Amino acid sequence: MILVFPDVDAVADYVSDTLYTQIRSRPPMTLGLATGGTMEPIYQYFIDKVKAGNLDVSQLSIFNLDEYVGLDANHPQSYAAYMKARLFEHLPFNLQNCHVPDGKAALDANYCQQYSTQIQRHGGIDFQLLGVGGNGHIGFNEPGTPFDSRCHIVELAPRTRLDNSRFFAPGELVPAHAITMGIQDIMEAREILLVATGPKKASTMKKFVDHGITEQVPFTVLKRHPATTIVLDEAAAQALPPASYQRIYT
Ligand code: F6R
């Protein structure tokens, strides 16, 4: 199901409401979370709603999708630092249960496998939030990643490094490798919500509609998932045939 909202604010309002409702209905749930520009307004809206509604987030377990290999949690461009600044430090989470892959330990033997196993030991992910890369990646599963992959180290595609260079200081190199939950880890989530906003995602979304299910466009695998919703703003939906989505007026 593809839902289209007028703008980024309407998307953030809807997605943060969905998160809020999920957590309120089963407080000890396990969430899978993403980073990136798309998630920033969503986390801002979510923080405000949790504070306004006094929602208990202390029983949540969180597993983030990915991290750059080689960056430690204090590096300003690490995803651990992103999560701390944009979400974790704003609400009373139990930080013992908030997991971001460790970019320093990522290359240790067994680390990746342990991350996947840890998710399974928690009973799997109840609700997975995803963004999508310009090339269709989910997590950092770049085009060509096998659909049966578990947590692993990837070499980032040139397009991904270019897209993400906007978060780094001028002249600072985007790491060449990342650790990411695998596509199978993601697909085992009971429910998935993928968000794409802005005109740069219009051609990405067109690929989703035009292609069948192919490892060359990783997020097409979501067509196989029984409970996936895709949420877009008008800009990201502009190249889609109107019959392929439902427009939500707010
Ligand atoms: C990040 C992640 C990535 C991003 C994707 C889109 O944790 O999993 O797949 O969701 O690269 O990034 P933005 O939102 O910056 O366009």
**How far apart (Å, rounded) are the C-alpha atoms in residues 124 and 186?**
10
Find the domain containing 120 and state its range: 2-247
Distance 42 CA to ligand 1 centre (A): 13
What is the model's pLDDT at position 79? 98
What is the model's pLDDT at position 250? 72
Digitized pLDDT (tens) for each residue of the chain, 250 residues in all? 999 999 999 999 999 999 999 999 998 999 999 999 999 999 999 999 999 999 999 999 999 999 999 999 999 999 999 999 999 999 999 999 999 999 999 999 899 999 999 999 999 999 999 999 999 999 999 999 999 999 999 999 999 999 999 999 998 999 999 999 999 999 999 999 999 999 999 999 999 999 999 999 999 999 999 999 999 999 999 999 999 999 998 7
**How far apart (Å, rounded) are the C-alpha atoms in residues 58 and 67?**
23
pTM: 0.97
Count of H-run helices and E-run strands, the chain: 8, 11
Name the catalytic one among 64, 135, 141, 164. 135
- Determine contact, residues 229/3, Cβ cutoff 8 Å: yes
> Total structural domains in the chain?
1
Report the candidate in 180, 246, 245 with the shortest Cα–Cα distance to residue 208: 245
Which atom of ligand 1 is found nearest the CA of 66? 7
What is the model's pLDDT at position 237? 98
Whether 142 sits among the annotated catalytic residues: the reply is yes
Q: What would the two tokens of residue 24 be?
A: 């309120």
| Residue 113 belongs to domain with CATH number | 3.40.50.1360
Distance 101 CA to ligand 1 centre (A): 15
Distance, CA of 131 to chain centre: 4
Question: Does the C-beta of 137 come closer than 6 Å to ligand 1?
Answer: yes
**How far apart (Å, rounded) are the C-alpha atoms in residues 138 and 192?**
12
Distance 139 CA to ligand 1 centre (A): 7
